[in-house]
Amino acid sequence: MFFNIALGAFYLFTDPTDSVKKMIPFPVLIQYALILIQLIRDKKHPYHHGYTLLTSLMVTYAWIYSIWSDRSITIFLIIGFVVLAGLCFVIKEQRRVLLLLQLTFFSLFFIGHVVGEDYYEVAFLLDGLAVYYIGAKTKSLLQKFIGITSYSLASLVIVFMRNINDPFSFETFQWLIVIVSFVAITYVASRYEKTNKGSFLAFISFVSTALLLAFSTEFTLAAVKHLEPQQQRLILTFVWMFLAVLAIVVGLTKRFSIAKYAGVGMLMLTLLKLVFYDLPFIPIPLRAVLFIALGIVGLGVSRAFYKRKE
């Protein structure tokens, strides 16, 4: 700590030349390397060295980021990532978890430095998913927390800030990544986490329903924006109904049983939308058709559930 304070004072108050400035991160890098070596060698107190190493990494990257060029930063991150990945492959037990944590931060730094602004959310989302998977598999609470935080923040940015104005756009791709990755992270959680099954199903069903409805609404309205508002509402209702039925059908298979709860939730919301939002704008003959269609769907779903129980 005092070493970095002294180095900071030298940097701020002595006005070093550019060549000297570029050399300042090297002592910090050496310090980081020594702590890393200590972690590798000491099998008795790995966590003490691990968290010290994490702090040292933050300080080291702060120095490098503030002084070195983009090219030098990229080289540092690639070399660090490769070295740590190799060590993770060789070293086992608790020290491996701590090295994986270092690898996590290297990957986050690399994404933030290399990836363009348009791809930040997708990159951090996928990185968060990967980090959560590693944390779940190695039972590292800190790594799982970092992974789920990165994943959740990136997903929220996409869902609330990336509106779909064109059905075949990069925003649509981002939304699809969110949906597919949510399926993946749900699978990982169900496999590695010990949770209350009822609460887990309720939460996943709620989030799945919200995601599918939000995406289908954004995508459909972007695709039919040239039509009249009444036509847009009707098409959206049919899309919701179709997705609900599809989710229930998929959910009736044993492997994707969670989907049926999301499908039932979507079907209920479709009915509420039809009754309280669409009905005043729909001609009477079309109302009859819609309610008949919903009735048929409802009967089919109830029959499918009944047969499944048998």
What pLDDT does 253 receive? 67
Nearest C-alpha neighbor of 267 from the set 232, 233, 302: 302
**Region 39-62: what's the mean pLDDT?**
79
pLDDT digits (tens, 9 = 90+) for 95-144: 777 788 888 888 888 887 877 767 888 888 888 888 888 888 878 787 88
pLDDT digits (tens, 9 = 90+) for 137-182: 878 787 888 889 989 999 999 999 888 988 888 899 999 999 999 9
What pLDDT does 155 receive? 92
Number of DSSP helices (H) and strands (E) in the chain, helices first: 13, 0
What are the start-end ranges of the E strands in the chain?
none
Q: What is the Cα 260 distance to its own chain's centre? A: 23
Enumerate residues 6+ apart whose C-beta is below 8 A from 211.
159, 178, 179, 182
pLDDT digits (tens, 9 = 90+) for 181-208: 998 998 888 888 887 777 777 788 788 8
140: left (phi over 0), alpha (psi -120 to 50) or beta: beta
Q: In the 3-class helix/strand/coil scheme, how is 181-237 assigned residue by residue? A: HHHHHHHHHHHHCCCCHHHHHHHHHHHHHHHHHHHHHHHHHHHCCCCCHHHHHHHHH
Tokens of 16: 């070093």
Residue type (1 letter), 88: C
pTM of the model: 0.72
Enumerate residues 6+ apart whose C-beta is below 8 A from 288.
none
Residue 47's CB is within 10 A of a number of other CB atoms, namely 12
250 phi/psi in degrees, rounded to 5: -65, -40
Element (H, E) at 81: helix 70-90
What pLDDT does 309 receive? 52
Residue 163's CB is within 10 A of a number of other CB atoms, namely 12
Q: Where are the domains of the chain?
A: 1-114, 116-194, 198-310
